[in-house]
Amino acid sequence: MSAAHPPGIERVLFTEEQIRQRIQEVAAEISARFRGRDLKLVGVLKGSVFFLTALARAIEIPLKIDFLAISSFANRTTAPGLVRIAKDLDDSIEGEDVLLVEDIVDTGFTARYLLRTLAGRGPNSLAICTLLDRTARRIVQVPVEFRCFEIPDRFVVGFGLDYKQLYRNLGHIAVMRPD
């Protein structure tokens, strides 16, 4: 089976079917929680695009969608976990129920920054929904209300997650070889 994997891929972690099924389950929870409310999904570019699209299609209530992009950087002159918004939301979130849609929550630095930034804009509520939650690498604790999968401390690609901008288009989630 490894011959069918693209170069650098060790194994499939979650199949397309497993992902589709879990997104349906999480979408049902979201639909129930936000029924009758003004829900806005806020996707974090680029990684969340595939997940947000599948999630939005599975949610059974009316919703709005917006995107933002972030830049994370750390070097000798900046603290690790420093994040800034590279592309802001197009519309206000004031008075809306906002669901921040992430491809992966890892250390928690980005999620914490985004929660604090968005909370200052007056949403009615603010929650995180992530495709993958890698709690083994968590440095900053953040509340993840909706998660599809918890994953081990391995580098993964597919379904929006990349390695040097490659592999986002895989329909499954795969573990990269450690080399």
Give the separation between CA 38 and CA 95, rounded to whole angstroms.
Answer: 8
Q: Residue type at 8?
A: G
Of 27, 52, 57, the closest CA to residue 42 belongs to 52
- 31's enclosing H/E stretch is helix 16-34
Give the phi and the psi of residue 45 in degrees, each rounded to 5. -75, 150
Q: Which of 106, 133, 162, 179 is flagged as catalytic?
A: 106
**Chain position carrying tokens 């990349």:** 162
Q: Check if 179 is active-site.
A: no
> 158 forms bridges with which residues in the sheet?
161
Residue by residue, DSSP assigns 75-93 as -TTS-TTEEEEEE--SS--
In sign, the C-alpha dihedral spanning 140, 114, 60, 170 is negative
Q: Is the peptide bond before 40 cis (omega within 30 degrees of 0)?
A: no
Which residues carry out catalysis? 106
